[in-house]
Structure 1
């Protein structure tokens, strides 16, 4: 897989109105830039995202990662990790994607009503059936990751990680490395904040940012000041702030594969170019001084589904 992937959620939800023609053009731009990992989920746009990715990648030599476990429909959002439902969710994703096999299949959220090992066991059956190549798990605790690995090989764990949110360095990152599980950070550009293109007026133009404490009132003001410091160093290095943020993440180790999302071809090309940037030890030290881990303000929004009621 490429060192940087493409997070595809924004093509269907979360960041305003979308246009499929423009989205497909952006996905093709990613392919042209050498990106070969495309990340989607059955919940994104209630299936729209998988259908879009399937159409855009038809005939392309690319790896697709998708997820199940968050069910989004007209009644709301719920978590479902019941083992007896896993094969059905997989088959439905395969149909929407127009593929015979899923390269990387994630449990999107652990169902609190189901032991994680039971869900992973059902996922392992998909590997044996040839429908899935590798398994992953998203937004999990260290103990849940250990329990998952005890049942079947886990290739990747996905979680939010960026210069704006470094809590994973305290818990899930060291445990994943101990277990030799790859690290796939989503929102590696801090939901757009680390691109230095947002201000107090535009930060709220997304549903995700609008409800995130880091983008509200005094937290946003403090975080924008941090971004200004980041931009100064990026300017000195003759790169963009977003490229600097991605290069920092890539410098954390060869097991890190960020999946920044964008609907704009130009931004996707800019992000892809971050793989060519090698930060020196002095650059990394300067970053830690200018924008230290404890220098950002506000907790993140909880990304667990709001309800575990399964319904019909």
Structure 2
């Protein structure tokens, strides 16, 4: 078991959205502890890591019912034992199922059943932030949000979030019940949300939670990342990590590494700092299974960047230079999705 090392970093708190949710400026993505990125970490080590994060001021924890599936929520629930419930801002998600293929559901019966399941696995009375993990393109978002609104009124969830929704879907959802946060991929080399989604969120007072702020580990390890991936790691199938794309993209890591050396920080701290500098309404959720990586990441909150340095970093990973789609399954993951009009819905 890795030994906890006290990290003398003060993690600020921010208001996420305009409905009252307050979270740590940096969160912890828990997915990789249980699923999709190689073998799950040993449970005692992962529990120890989550508790160390909370004790370090990183109290914004992110999971989902599909991670495992289900095992990550159980793990997080175990790690929360001994903490006062109000000390932690617990986010989980629903909507993605697997039966050999990826499916997405947002119908009211499923929304309710999924919430009840998550509450049981997490062993909590309420969920702080409950996300629509992916948008069901067959169900009007107003229908999905209507059921989530009921769950808020019943006290089972406090705040509602969306993940990978397009700007018009965000607007339609927000008109039914306030959306507190939108979770999308955002990093130096994944910036497509900046055109429409970020401005929409800021217009409506919605917080932003960047997932994969380290480019799915690329800005932590660079070329070594690919060498160390196991066969069941989904990143092996991501276009950016394959063939000529990866040979091109390695240059980005080299440039970030050079700048980090000048700044006296690590590449991962520099890449995370860039995300933090996007605004006071942003709480990225880098994930890890290693105590040392967590301790490295948390120090990113102390890295200061000038506008000139931000511009320099952005030039390294400009959209015309980065090769490959940001997701391995762009056509089947409902990225930035729209839903049919409410008038098309016929309740069963």
TM exceeding 0.5: yes
Question: What residue is the counterpart of 1:309 in the other structure?
Answer: none
Structure 1 unmatched ranges of 5 or more: 307-312
Alignment partner of 1:192 is 2:217: yes
- C-alpha deviation, 1:16, in angstroms: 1.0
Could you tell me whether the CA contact under 8 Å between 1:185 and 1:258 is conserved in 2?
yes
Aligned-pair CA distance for 1:275? 1.1
1: CA distance, partners of 2:251 / 2:236: 19
CA distance, structure 1, for counterparts of residue 74 and residue 125 of structure 2: 14
Identify which of 297, 300, 305 aligns with 2:323.
297
In the TM superposition, residue 165 of structure 1 has moved relative to its aligned partner by: 0.8
Alpha-carbon distance between aligned partners in 1 of 2:78 and 2:268, rounded to the nearest angstrom: 29
Pairing 1:64-79 to 2, within 5 Å after superposition: 64-72=90-98, 75-79=100-104
Cross-structure match for 1:3: 25
Displacement, 1:281? 2.2
State the match for 2:337 in structure 1. none
Q: Map 1:151-170; keep pairs closer than 5 Å.
A: 151-170=176-195
Partners of 1:267 and 1:77 lie apart in 2 by 30
Is residue 2:277 matched to residue 1:248? no
Cα pair 2:189 2:317 within 8 Å, conserved: no
Q: Give CA deviations for 1:167-200 in whole Å, capped at 9, x if unaligned.
A: 1112211111111111101000001101134337
Contact 1:200 1:220 in 2 (8 A): no
Cα distance, 1:232 vs structure 2? 0.2
Q: Paired residue for 1:310?
A: none
Q: 1:223 and 2:249 equivalent?
A: yes
Aligned-pair Cα RMSD in Å: 1.7
Q: How many residues align?
A: 305
- Note the C-alpha offset of 1:111: 0.7
Q: 1:234-273 alignment to 2 at 5 Å?
A: 234-273=260-299
Corresponding residue for residue 127 of structure 1: 152
Conserved 8 A contact 2:218-2:225: no
Tell me: CA distance 1:144–1:302, structure 2 relative to 1, closer, same or farther (3 Å). farther
2:126 aligned partner: 101
Q: Per-residue CA shift, 1:5-48, capped at 9, x if unaligned?
A: 00111011111112211211211221232100100001110110
For normalisation by structure 2, the TM-score amounts to 0.84
- SS of the aligned residue for 1:93 comes to helix
Q: Would you say the 8 A contact 1:33–1:269 is kept in 2?
A: no
Say whether 1:28 aligns with 2:51.
yes
Q: Which sits farther off after the overlay, 175-184 or 120-129? A: 175-184
Give every structure 1 segment of 4 or more consecutive aligned residues whose post-TM-superposition deviation is greater than 2 Å.
Answer: 196-201, 203-208, 288-295, 300-306
User: Equivalents in 2 of 1:200, 1:125: separation in Å?
Assistant: 43
1:180-221 Cα deviation digits (max 9, x unpaired): 111101000001101134337526546221111010001101
Query: How far off is 1:288 after superposition?
Result: 2.9
Secondary structure, aligned partner of 1:96:
helix
Structure 1 length-normalised TM? 0.93
Does 2:63 align with 1:40?
Answer: yes
Would the aligned equivalents of 1:196 and 1:231 in 2 still touch at CA under 8 Å? no
2:36 paired with 1:14: yes
